[in-house]
Amino acid sequence: MSHPRLSLHTKYSSAENAKALSDPNASFALIYWDVASDEEWEGGKLPTPFGVMPVLEVHSSDGKTIPVTESIAIDLFLAKRFHLLGDNEWEEVTIKGFYSNIHYLRERSLMTVTWTHPSRRKVALENFISKTLPQFIADHEYHLRENGSNGHYVGDKISLADIHLSNIMDHFSYLPSGDVMTALFDKSELLAKVKAQVDNHPEIAAWRASAAWSALARATVNAYKCTAPPAED
C-alpha cells in the first residue's frame, strides 16, 4: 500500500528554508511513534517523506514549517544547533566519525542479528557477542584513552558521539539478549564512564526520569521480543 508523501520541497526558496532552520527562536516538533495510533499509521493518515519515522518539524518564529527527515540527518542538524559537534572543524569531523562508527554497530546488529532469519539468530548472536562487539569496545577504548580517559570522545564536554554511545548501549539492553551485551559494555570502565557522563547530565537525567522516556523504553522492549533466538528443544 502506498503512503501519503510529505514533500521536502517547501513553498519557500532555498534561502528562506535555510533562514528558518537557523532561526534562534525556532521551536521543534518530532513526529515519532506516539503521535498517532497504530490504526492511523497503518491507514496512511500521517504523511511522511518516505513512509517512516522520525520526521522533525522546525517551526520558525515567522510562521514557516520546515520538515527534516531521516534519523542521521536529524541527529546531525540538532547536534549542530545545540553545539554538540565541538568547537572547530577538526572536532566536528572527528565527532561525526565516532558517531558514524557507533551508528554502524547498531545497523550491523539489526541487519545481521536482530532481523535475520530465526534459524540463523543463535549463530549470528554468538558471532556478534564473541567478535563484533568486543572489537568495537576495544577500538573505542583506544580512542577514549587517546582523549585522556575523561569520559568524552573529543575534548572535555558532551558531544553527539558521547550521547550516541549512551543511546546504543540502551538499545542493546532492550534486546532479548540484552543482559549479555550489557555485561560486555559494563566490563569497559571507559565506555561506562562516557555513559555516566551523558546520563548524569541534568537535562538528560530529567528526560530519563520522565514518564515519556519510560513509555518509550517499555515499547522498545516489547517491539524486540519477537527477535529472540528460537528456544532449543
- 215: in domain: yes
Bridge partners of residue 68, in order along the sequence: 56
Looking at the structure, tell me whether residues 27 and 141 fall in a common domain.
no
- Residues 139 and 63 grouped into a single domain: no
Q: Is 183 found in the same domain as 132? A: yes
Q: Would 4 be classed as within a structural domain?
A: no
Has residue 105 been placed in a domain?
Answer: yes
CATH number at residue 206: 1.20.1050.10
Residues 223, 112 within the same domain: yes
Say yes or no: 204 and 111 in one domain: yes
| CA 160/CA 75 separation, integer angstroms | 8
Residue 19 sits in which domain range? 14-69
Q: Are 140 and 132 in contact (CB under 8 A)?
A: no
Same domain, 98 and 165: yes
Instruction: For residues 96 and 131, state if they share a domain.
Output: yes
Burial of 208 (0-12, 13-18, 19+ CB in 10 A): middle
pLDDT in tens, 40-95: 777 777 788 988 888 999 999 999 999 999 999 999 999 999 999 999 999 999 99
For residue 6, is it within any domain?
Answer: no
Residues 45 and 144 reside in one and the same domain: no
Q: Is the residue at 101 inside a domain? A: yes
| 7-47 per-position pLDDT tens digit | 999 999 999 999 999 999 999 998 876 666 777 777 777 78
Q: Which of 150, 186, 165, 190 is nearest to 95 (CA)?
A: 165
Verify that 110 and 220 share a domain, yes or no: yes
pLDDT tens digits, one per residue of 115-154: 999 999 999 999 999 999 999 999 999 999 999 999 999 9
Instruction: Note the pLDDT tens digit of each residue in 181-218.
Output: 999 999 999 999 999 999 999 999 999 999 989 998 99
Q: Do 108 and 51 lie in a common domain?
A: no
Residues 64 and 93 in one domain: no
- Same structural domain for residues 147 and 216? yes
CB 112 within 8 A of CB 121: no
Q: CB–CB of 78/56 below 8 Å?
A: yes
Q: How many domains does the chain have?
A: 2
Task: With 0.85 as the threshold, say if the pTM is over it.
Answer: yes
